[in-house]
Amino acid sequence: MGRDKSWLVPLLGVLFLVVVIVGFMISGGEPPDPKDDSAQKIVDFYVDNKSSVMAGSFLGGLAAALLVFFGAHLREVLRVAAGGKDFLSTAAFAGLLLIAVGFTLDGTINLTLAETAEDIDPAGVQALTALWHNDFIPFAAGTVIFLIATGISVLQHGALPKWIAYVALVLAVIGFTPLGFVAFIGSGLLIAVIGVVLAMRGRGRAEPATP
């Protein structure tokens, strides 16, 4: 029989982070700010970067899917550690779902702009871009929920090393400040770290015993 490969599942968290970084790198950068730039400049950005913006949007959707599967696995890990009676595991999963919604919303707006920038009124493009620049609420809410729920659950039940809990809670506090974007970036790195920790633990359990 082949060796159990279920330990690979938490590495979806690492893959999620990689896809997010690649998507950001190829998406053409951040669109012009509608508060400071003209509607025509924004239209020109989407026309000139149509293919890269569309590719970045699709990668954002892929990142969202990976995050959902990783979140489902993490929920199970937290739930089992709590003896099957822990609402925090569900809250952590819900936080990751909100972040995934943020990625899909963000990608949908960008994809719409890339597809229609030449066909609709420049003022409409400017308005959609303003929405894109301010669609951070699902990201912010999801990040804080994920960090708080995961941090407290780990401290209570020890599903992960306690230092992960402390990092999560510190990032959650930062999420309530004007430096909230630091919490979002930190949560992405923390997701990858959790994925590696769980994968290493699962691989150790999957290793066949030495006769």
The DSSP symbol for 34 reads: T
Domain membership flag for residue 70:
yes
Q: Residue 79's CB: how many other CB atoms inside 10 A?
A: 21
pLDDT tens track of the chain, all 211 residues? 456 677 889 999 999 999 999 999 998 778 888 888 888 898 999 999 999 999 999 999 999 999 999 999 999 999 999 998 889 999 999 999 999 999 999 999 999 999 998 888 888 989 999 999 998 999 999 999 999 999 999 999 999 999 999 999 999 999 999 999 999 999 999 999 999 999 998 887 766 544 4
Domain membership flag for residue 140:
yes
Domain containing 96: what range? 9-202
Domain membership flag for residue 107:
yes
The DSSP symbol for 66 reads: H
Domain membership flag for residue 14:
yes
The pLDDT, as a whole number, for residue 1 is 42
Summary count for the chain: helices (H), strands (E): 8, 0
Domain membership flag for residue 208:
no
- What domain count does the chain have? 1
Instruction: Tell me which residue has tokens 């669609």.
Output: 135
Domain membership flag for residue 3:
no
Question: What's the predicted TM-score (pTM) here?
Answer: 0.90
Under a CB-based contact definition with an 8 Å cutoff, are residues 67 and 98 in contact? Answer: no
Distances (CA, A) of 119 to 34, 40, 58, 124, 135: 18, 13, 21, 10, 23
Domain membership flag for residue 4:
no
Domain membership flag for residue 135:
yes
User: The tokens of 6 are what?
Assistant: 């279920």
Alpha-carbon gap, residue 74 to 55, rounded angstroms: 28
